[in-house]
Amino acid sequence: MAAINDPATSEAVTGDLCVPIVTELDIVIARQQGRALAARLGFSPGDLALVATAISELARNIIQYAKRGEIVLRLVEDNPRGIVVIARDQGPGIADLERAMQDGFSTGGGLGLGLPGAKRLMDEFEVVSEVGKGTTVTIKKWMH
């Protein structure tokens, strides 16, 4: 992947790797691809596990709530070096974002660890959701 300069962040980034999320197998593929990219930067085994777990949580949310979407993986090779994961869908959106960010809250019958869990695992977290239009979650893990 060739490095490009992202004018929005002024970070040198590599080209995006996009993993469509439609089936359970796609969750595994996104997790493996994210882990492999983070390993290229030299993340520790523990951080590789955190990145992979956060990707799994976000991809599972896509399948459970939106049925389809994508995980976009982006390496940042500047300083700081890290990985950016963007999970986006055009599903129903999140009606009560504040409540969705509380541990244990789930409208899908799960443990309610998805969004708050991903937030805890990563260094930066942002979610934008509009009811009826979809959700985009951006998470970042930096080399320490």
SS (H, E, C) 30-99: HHHHHHHHHHHHCCCHHHHHHHHHHHHHHHHHHHHHHCCEEEEEEEECCCCCEEEEEEEECCCCCCCHHH
List pLDDT tens digits, range 9-29.
444 555 799 999 999 999 999
pTM, two decimals, is 0.86
Cα–Cα dist 78/67, whole Å: 35
Tell me the average pLDDT across 90-111.
77
Is 140 in contact with 127 (CB distance < 8 Å)?
A: no
Every domain of the chain and the residues it spans:
13-142
Q: Which pair of structure tokens corresponds to residue 141?
A: 């893990």
Let me know: does 71 contact 61? Beta carbons within 8 Å: no
Half-sphere exposure of 69 (CA within 13 A, CB side): 28
Mean pLDDT over 93-105 rounds to: 84
Q: What is the mean pLDDT of the chain?
A: 87
- 4-18, 26-40, 75-89, 127-141: which has the minimum mean pLDDT? 4-18
Name which of 11-20, 47-56, 109-118 the model is least confident about.
109-118
Quick one: pLDDT at residue 7?
A: 40
Q: Percent of the chain scored above 90 by pLDDT? A: 72
Q: For the domain with range 13-142, which CATH number is right: 3.90.1720.10, 2.30.40.10, 3.40.50.620, 3.30.565.10? A: 3.30.565.10
pLDDT bucket at 79, cuts 50 / 70 / 90: confident
User: 8 falls in which pLDDT band (50, 70, 90)?
Assistant: very low
Q: How many CB atoms lie within 10 A of CB 12?
A: 15
Region 37-54: what's the mean pLDDT? 96
B/e letters for 90-106, b = 16+ CB within 10 Å, e = fewer, are ebbbbeeeeebbeeebe
